[in-house]
Amino acid sequence: MIYAGAHVLFYALAAAASPLALTATFVVIRSDRPRTNGVAFLGGFLLGTTIACGVGLVLGQAAVERLDSHGTVEEVLTLLLGVALLVVGLQTRHASPPPESEGSRASAILTGLGHVRPAAAFSLAGLLGFGGPKRLVLTVLAMAAVSGASLGDVEDLTLVVVYIAVATVLVTVPVGIVIIAGARAAVILERGQSWLTAHATVLRVWLSLGIGAALVVDALVRLFA
């Protein structure tokens, strides 16, 4: 269980490291209905992540039952994701700053999030929780590690819960602060959002390079062990 748990935790941390999800969370919880929208956003994010885990478990179990080379498939997928993240990180690092018009469009989208209703916040968070390509692949890899370990129902459920808890922590913590502190959290959240906006590009570069390198190393070690 320790080996599978280490991989699940690593994939969960990699999935959690999403400036986009954190930025969206800050915007939603600083909206006109911070607590209501925050709870709706968190609920949607948890649901989306849980559904992704269910899909990952189904795929992982199918691979275990039908593929003798299940481990190799998982390692190759890990390697491909790592290489893709390295490429994205290097391209972002050397890319020119986006035109002012593109920045304005992004700002307009984020501004619009500040006026969403709880239902819209729930739906948006559900999509974010399910994930784009990176988050979804990481979830599938984590669930494949759970399925491949064949530890038993209780252990498998524990690892799934750990993954969901860690992968959603950057949404859970800010929403929790708003629920507990209410308006008193406004200053902290404003500072956090300002810092994140100012360093978003740098964060994307180093997270892509760091996670990508770790995935490549992990895949190569397992392939040639």
Would the pLDDT of 95 be above 90? no
Q: What does the chain come to in residues?
A: 225
- Supply the DSSP string of 144-208, one letter for each residue: HHHHHH---HHHHHHHHHHHHHHHTHHHHHHHHHHHHHGGGGHHHHHHHHHHHHHTHHHHHHHHH
Task: Compute CA distances 158 → 26, 34, 141, 211, 214, whole Å.
Answer: 29, 31, 16, 24, 24
Question: What is the rounded distance in angstroms from the CA atom of residue 162 to the CA atom of residue 168?
Answer: 10
Spell out the domain ranges in the chain.
2-224
Distance, CA of 17 to CA of 210 (rounded, Å): 11
pLDDT digits (tens, 9 = 90+) for 188-200: 777 887 888 788 7
Tell me the pLDDT band of 67, cut-offs 50, 70 and 90: low
Q: What pLDDT score does 102 carry?
A: 43
CA distances to 7, 101, 195, 201 from 97, in Å = 35, 11, 18, 9
With contact defined as beta carbons under 8 Å apart, do 181 and 198 qualify? no
pLDDT in tens, 103-128: 444 455 566 666 788 898 899 899 99
Query: What does 38-51 look like in DSSP terms, one character per residue?
Result: HHHHHHHHHHHHHH
Q: How far apart are CA 133 and CA 84, in angstroms?
A: 11
pTM for the whole thing?
0.85
Across the range 73-100, mean pLDDT stands at: 81
% the chain with pLDDT above 70:
85
What is the C-alpha to C-alpha distance for residues 141 and 71, in angstroms, rounded to an integer?
11
Helix (H, G, I), strand (E, B) or coil at 137: helix
What pLDDT does residue 196 have?
83
